Amino acid sequence: MHVMSSPALRFLVLGSNGGLGRALARQLAGIGSVTAWTRKDLDLSCLEDIEPKLASQAFDVLLNPAGMTSPDACVQQPELAQRINTEAPAELARVCQKLGRRFIHFSTDYVFDGGKTTLWDEDDLTAPVNLYGRTKRAGELAVLEACPEALVARVSWLFGPDKSSHPDQIITKALQSAELTAIADKTSSPTFTRDLCEWVQTLVTSHRDSRGVLHLCNSGTASWQEWGEKALEIASRLGVPVRTTKLAPLALAECTFFKDARPPHTRMSTERFTTITGIRPRAWQEALEEHLRAMQAALAFSSTPS
């Protein structure tokens, strides 16, 4: 008896010039067809373009990692942040609901106030301390109201090959200087985009009814200081000529260069994800080692200033 296989899924990835957008497009190309849109293809600040452009594109799953992610940029351009982080996701969700398409929207650990030192779970009260967090939380609510079947994935402290992040930047600085600092009293879970994309693929293919809010991050807690020092220790072991493996501690309260507040402790629990999928995210340290080994193999670190 001939069993017909189900057709490959068609994915539409927004923000595909960003670190997560690129990683998602690459990952999902292994299991279906991917259309990757940049801001040129769909500018989320132009709300009136969203419905006609989505309606003209064939897709089964829309993934939206696009957003205004700099808290300081958000506070400098609040109307734009509101449009891109709240109103555009609401419109994307409304159109997906109307077209009968699946929608996966990416959010942030910054929806929490950071006032608790134990893990945050999906049902904890949100109380963002900055405009970025407020626009992202309003976006979550608007997405789930417009499209109750949508999946909202909260992620934290992303790193990966497609965009320079805290560990890469610290290593680059340490090639030039032995006197470096990092914030020591702000904690969360670093998240490897490659792992994140594998989790998303599992949710898309094997758990198509997963919906609501889900926390996706690697396991373990780090401060920016610990994250940076671990990166330097790994880099040193790999033969990268860093001048130090230590970072002098900075207190968050001392950081007057921020234009808006930062939540101090936003480490999220991934128990709900594990219950759904059986997957227990690996430690961030292990993922960081894999990332930096690949970067070193690609000769991404050198002792000459860029």
What are residue 7's phi and psi, to 5 degrees? -65, 150
Q: What is the pLDDT of residue 4?
A: 54
Distance CA 159, CA 270 (A): 18
Mean pLDDT of 72-97: 98
- Token output for 122: 């999906």
∠ CA 38-25-112, nearest 5°, is 80
- Domain CATH number, residue 54: 3.40.50.720
Q: What is the pLDDT of residue 306?
A: 41
Tell me if 229 is assigned to some domain. Answer: no
pLDDT at 1 over 80: no
Residue 2, C-beta contacts closer than 8 angstroms, at least 6 positions apart = none
Mean pLDDT of 190-213: 97
Q: What is the pLDDT of residue 304?
A: 45
pLDDT band, residue 278 (cuts 50/70/90): very high
30: exposed, middle or buried (C-beta count within 10 Å: 0-12, 13-18, 19+)? exposed
Domain count, the chain: 1
pLDDT at 272 over 90: yes
Q: What is the pLDDT of residue 53?
A: 98
Q: Is 135 helix (H, G, I), strand (E, B) or coil?
A: helix
pLDDT at 152 over 90: yes
Q: Contact 304/250 with Cβ under 8 angstroms?
A: no
Q: What is the pLDDT of residue 305?
A: 43
Q: Contact 67/136 with Cβ under 8 angstroms?
A: yes
Tell me if 240 is assigned to some domain. Answer: no
Residue 96, C-beta contacts closer than 8 angstroms, at least 6 positions apart = 54, 62, 102, 103, 147, 150
Percent of the chain at pLDDT > 90 equals 93
Tell me if 273 is assigned to some domain. Answer: yes
Q: What is the pLDDT of residues 279-306, one digit of tens each?
A: 999 999 999 999 999 998 887 765 444 4
pLDDT band, residue 33 (cuts 50/70/90): very high
Mean pLDDT of 197-220: 97
Tell me if 152 is assigned to some domain. Answer: yes
Tell me if 201 is assigned to some domain. Answer: yes
What are residue 302's phi and psi, to 5 degrees? -140, 170
> Which pTM value belongs to this model?
0.95
Domain extent at residue 139: 11-158+190-219+266-282
86: exposed, middle or buried (C-beta count within 10 Å: 0-12, 13-18, 19+)? buried
CA atoms within 13 A on the CB side of 232: 26
Tell me if 204 is assigned to some domain. Answer: yes
Tell me if 174 is assigned to some domain. Answer: no
Q: What is the pLDDT of residues 261-271, one digit of tens each?
A: 999 999 999 99
